[in-house]
Structure formats: C-alpha cells, structure tokens
Amino acid sequence: MLHHILDKYIFSWLDNSKLRHIFSDNNKPDIILTNKSDVAVALKYNSKSMIAPIILEKGRNTYAQKLINIGKNSNIPIVDDKELVNELYSTLKSGQTIFYKHYNKIARLYSKYTNLNITRNETINSFDEIFESQRLHTHEVLSLTIPEKIKLEVSSNIYSIVMNKYFKINICGFLLNNLKTEENTNLKNDEYNIKVNGLLVKNGKIIYTFIEPFEQLSIFLTECLKQHYKQLIGRDEIVYFLSQVKEKYPVLINEILKYYSIGEIRKVFHDLLEEDVSVQNIITILETMADFGNEEHNFNIILENLRKAIGRDICLPYMHENVLKVFVFESSLEKTINSNFVVTENGKYLNDEYVKIVHEHVLKAVDSLKNKNLKPVLVYGQLNRKLIRNVIEKLDLGIAVISASEIPGDIRVEVVLEMRK
C-alpha cells in the first residue's frame, strides 16, 4: 500500500528540486497548515537560530496538494485552519518570520502537534517563552523508550546512510523513542526487515526518490507499528510510564492504581488506539478514569465517558473549515437497528440480517461521499456506538464512528447525508 502511495504521489515530482530541498532530512517542516487542500503553508522553527517560526514554503491548488501529500507521507502534522493559513499566505513570503500577533495561536499548535525540544531564552514574550508556557499547560505524552521490542534491520548499503540516526515514531500521540537500525548482511541491496518482539512483521525495499531512505523508513515504520501497538504496550510499559507520571501527579496515579489493575489500564489505551483516537491528552484520560473508578467496572461505559471527555481530540482530525461533516442513519432506521441487537452469553451482537442492511447503507453512503473529499464520519447513539463500529469495521473503509455526546458544544456539525430505510 505504501509503495502504491509513493508511486501515485511521488514519482511524478522527481524533477521538482524545490520540494526535494524542502523535505530534505535537515529542513523538513514541523507543521503544515491548510485550508482544505486549496492553500498550504509549511512552518519551520529552530529555537537556536530563529526568534519564531518561519514560512518554510507555501502554495496554492496543485502545489498545495503536493505539500500536503508529501507531508502526510513524511509523518508531518497537517492542521486545517482556514483563517490562520489564509492570513499567513497573503501577508508573508517564504522565508519570512511569523508576526508577533500569531505567536500564541501558533505556539498552541506546536504544543499540540509537535514534540519539539526548545531552549528557553531571556527574551520576554519570545516565541520560546510562550511555547514553553503552552507545553506546561496542555499535554503530557505517553512516551516510551522500548527499542528492545522493535528491530529495524537494513542491508549494508542502507545502513551506511542511516546508521547514526534515531527514529521517533508517533502513533496517535503514543511516542516510540530512540529506535535505531541494525545492519543485516543477509539482506540484499535496499532491503529492510521490521521485527516486533523478535518476529518478522514486514519486509520491503527502499525506493530511490527525492524522499531520503531515512524518511521512507520512518513512513514504513509508522504504518507497520500502527498494526502492532498491542505488542508494544504491555504491562511492563504501562508500569514504567505510570511511574514517570507519578513524579508529577502522585495523587492521580495512586487513585488510578486503587481502582484499576495494570491490565485494565492497558486495555483502555488499546481500545482508544484501535479506533485511531489520540492518547496525547494523557492527564485528561487518567483523570476521567479516576472519576469513574469507584463505580461498577463496566468498561464500555468507562470508555464511552472517556471518549466524551476527550471529544475535541476525537473530532479534530475530521474537521473541514472548522465544521464537522458527518453522515447518520435516519432516526427510525437507527431505532430499528438498535432493536435487532441480540444479547447472548458471549456478548451483544447485531443479527446477521441487519449486519447486511447496515453494510449496504454504509457502502452506498461512502460511495456518494467520494466526490466531497471528506473523511467518512458516522454519528451513532452512544449506547451502541462501539457495536456499530465493530460491524462497520469489517468493511475496512476507515470509517470513524462517534457519538453525539463526544462532539463539544462549540463545534459546528453539518449532516451531509442521512441514510433512510
């Protein structure tokens, strides 16, 4: 699949020296701001040499789409903000520093979407100072250093290129640090292996384009490890992480461990990552778990309330021009579907007839939404949201299923399609 992406979006741009330079190893953007895909502005910040982020590059229409597509393949955060990106695009040239009036807003974006290490300086109200302040008040991060669980083996010629570089992989806010390559002399030129817990999970080859081997390996690692997060987040990793958080939040961690086993905490993270929900807002996640800790341990209820608490993080990736565009089942059809769930000793399931009906409706809906360039988001009732998600997951269409209770009140929602009987 990744090679198909590279074929489709990259090979046609081999002669574009400008993009080649922008996405070089030492020069790639930190964040790309967009207005849908019509406008794109790439930001770059180095605290040692810049007073604030600069406009590394900007573009409209086709060139904007090139920036966005390569940014996605390079694991660079793509943030939709119509007002900000339009103002930056119209008032600044490539290479210019952002205006002071944008410091706070862009510092918030850097705090949320990057893990940049900065050095605080003595300049009052500098970008460094504002950025550090934002980081202190926004997110703690589930960050683990577990190189022994992951092994990236490369052929000798690739090893000579990447041997002194370390990978940092971000999977929905779950960070894997200090991953390094090992040379495998049995691999042929340009080949690589990815192993998890000693087992081979992927074998492939580097393709020589203007995206350097290190960046390609980052892409392949990220996509591969997304499929194996359960093997990466074990009980030992949870214990280690909680011990780190306890230094700053001792009361919270003591309360968590009073109500939950390590296995239950691990399950919460697994369930969130399974639905591509960011776990970056870690303190809110733990606080919400503690709030429900003294109640009956119904994990479905705990998880749904947890999702409600981090609803903004859930909705953000699906926003278009500050609007959440969704499709829904017509209320009478949703009511009929809910009445056809069957409760057995092994759990609650939708009967086979209605599984087919749901699949037919969803397939038609997704097909009709193709031309709208939208990530498909289905809104369903909180009680059976997870069950419907399990039914739709079998279609492998990447559909997000959220409940209305997860959508913050200040987010504008537009129903673009209603599925009827």
Is the Cα torsion angle 23, 29, 33, 39 positive or negative in sign? negative
pLDDT at 248: 83
Domain 2-138 has CATH 3.40.50.1970: no
pLDDT at 384: 92
Tens-place pLDDT, residues 155-214 = 999 999 888 888 878 888 788 877 888 999 999 989 999 999 889 999 999 987 767 888
Where in the sequence of the chain do the CATH 3.40.30.60 domains occur?
143-232
- The pLDDT confidence band at residue 5, using thresholds 50, 70 and 90, is very low
Average model confidence (pLDDT) across the chain: 83
Where in the sequence of the chain do the CATH 3.40.1690.10 domains occur?
2-138
Q: How far apart are CA 168 and CA 176, in angstroms?
A: 6
Residues in the chain, overall count: 421
Name the more confident of 46 and 15.
46
Where in the sequence of the chain do the CATH 1.10.8.540 domains occur?
235-309
pLDDT at 122: 41
CATH architecture of the domain formed by 315-419: 3-Layer(aba) Sandwich (3.40)
CATH architecture of the domain formed by 143-232: 3-Layer(aba) Sandwich (3.40)
- The pLDDT confidence band at residue 133, using thresholds 50, 70 and 90, is low
pLDDT at 81: 87
- The pLDDT confidence band at residue 26, using thresholds 50, 70 and 90, is low
**Window from 36-40, 228-232, 254-258, 325-329 with minimum mean pLDDT:** 36-40
Q: How far apart are CA 262 and CA 249, in angstroms?
A: 17
Tens-place pLDDT, residues 307-338 = 998 898 888 888 876 789 999 999 999 999 99
- Class of domain 235-309 (CATH, top level): mainly alpha
Where in the sequence of the chain do the CATH 3.40.50.12790 domains occur?
315-419
Name the more confident of 246 and 138.
246
Helical axes 282-291 vs 299-309, angle rounded to 10°: 140
